[in-house]
Structure 1
């Protein structure tokens, strides 16, 4: 989804100059607070992905000895595969190898809501070597009605990711810049009808959100960086690792803005220790999705 500009305003004059000056300082501060990530986009063309290429929803790499996964709901739905050799290098993440993600074919895409949440209802596979030919095929009876995403070839490029407002240190949230941004760049129409904008609102919508005019910051689908949720962050609860633990890293996030699906405007994640995954250890992988 392309970033949208702040509302239509006439150029020129002192007010415009003030807005541009504040916007410039905002960009600079955000760049200091951002973390590198890999942006994940669905290709705009219909070119087929090679068997070991990064892709969404179809075209899973199936070498000899790796059949299509089946669970109690039948053949699982293929979500995505990421070939890390195609991705820009990200510190601590694999530089090669192929990650696959499947979910159970049911009305919650395999996610449970008890103590097992995040640990069942999905499958992550890791291929350190992808030199063997892909010989398997997707079964005819995969129930694509329960697939959480669309399909197509994926493009992996460098990006920057911003934390949620609540993830910022308290001293950063107290910086006067955020209130200045709120006063100068916030929606005056909302203020006129009695809605009091807070710095958090402007941060989430105009700095970090889909309304951001700051090209380069990745809102949705990504490898690494900071996660986005439509509801709450599950990390630190139940079987999910703490947000700041290595196992709480965003291994892969697929947002409906780029991937489609995930219910009503939702987003899905795999969390894991990326260095462990690079060594073929998938025991830390946890699964989550939510929607509005």
Structure 2
């Protein structure tokens, strides 16, 4: 009986055989029948078997959900006004005004900026222009509206399709901090240039679609392995979380949540499956207690460059 016969039952697909290649099963292939049942029940083998099952499930999940993502890593180079970056000064074209909090009249601050001309191309995303993300500095939630996450009254997104070749000093803005300004940055001078790296990412365990993928994998197992998973679900789930762990600043891919995915049951969020941007609490950025900020959009709206219904959320521990 072959390795995948024991894990998935008789007649594994070529795809499944390939996914398990190189993953070591702690129970020898010669052990079958009642002896194999006894081996699975041996408490001394539980940690090894749990790791093995978790690795095979992770391989299946990666195979079915891997998606392109751009990781954003800070550099030591001071950013220009047009760079992909976090914080700092921002450009406002002629005929436009710097964004303000529509409820308080106070200036909004640049959270992050994406220069698509500097970035690898992702499906549905533009290949040129600036996308600017602004948040409130006079609100402990940084402008997030829990009741209306699409409302841009207290935060804003602007897409600028054209970047001027020569910067006009009078069109560069950097709102001053006040004594009560509250932002996820250490000080007014804070700004980070971000360097992109194109990678692939599997679905995260906090994504609302993860459980469906997990159940699909469990359904592919034979009875023995399915029963083992259910008996040791907590241990296997912990290992899966480690194997699929992912965080940091990124464009596209799958989100990280410290609490729960707001898209799970809320019809307002339904269909917002593309993550425009994730900003994590690293590199001197801090959302609450080590939180993560996410911006989501429907794929069809992204293709139309319609950023009027982007969903903004952040949560923390």
1:82 to 114, 119, 127: 114
Q: Specify whether residues 144 and 252 from structure 1 end up closer, same or farther in structure 2 by C-alpha distance, changes over 3 A only.
A: farther
Aligned residue number for residue 66 of structure 1 = 96
Q: Deviations for 1:20-61, whole angstroms, at most 9, x for unmatched residues?
A: 988986775454132111111222x1x222221101011322
C-alpha separation in 2, matches of 1:109 and 1:219: 21
* Superposition map of 1:40-55 within 5 A: 40-43=72-75, 45=76, 47-55=77-85
Q: Where in structure 2 are the equivalents of 1:206-285 lying within 5 Å?
A: 206-209=242-245, 218-235=246-263, 240-242=268-270, 245=271, 247-258=272-283, 260-274=285-299, 276-277=301-302, 279-285=304-310
**Residues 259 and 269 of structure 1: CA distance in aligned 2, closer, same or farther (over 3 Å):** farther
Deviations 1:5-28 (A, max 9, x none): xxxxxxxxx99x999988986775
Q: 1:126 aligns with which of 152, 159, 177?
A: 159
Segment drifting more, 232-241 vs 75-84: 232-241
* CA displacement 1:159-203 (0-9 Å, x = unmatched): 2222134523321244559x98xx9xxxxxxxxxxx983322222
Unaligned runs of at least 5 residues, structure 1: 1-13, 184-194, 210-217
Give the CA deviation at 1:77.
Answer: 2.0
- Structure with larger Rg: 2
Number of aligned residue pairs: 250
Give unpaired runs (5+ residues) of structure 2: 1-27, 29-44
Match for residue 167 of structure 1 among 206, 209, 214? 209
Whether 1:198 aligns to 2:235 is yes
Post-superposition offset of 1:274? 4.9
Give 1:256 shift: 1.0
Instruction: Classify 1:259/1:161 alpha carbon distance in 2 versus 1 (closer, same or farther; 3 Å).
Output: farther
Alpha-carbon RMSD: 3.4
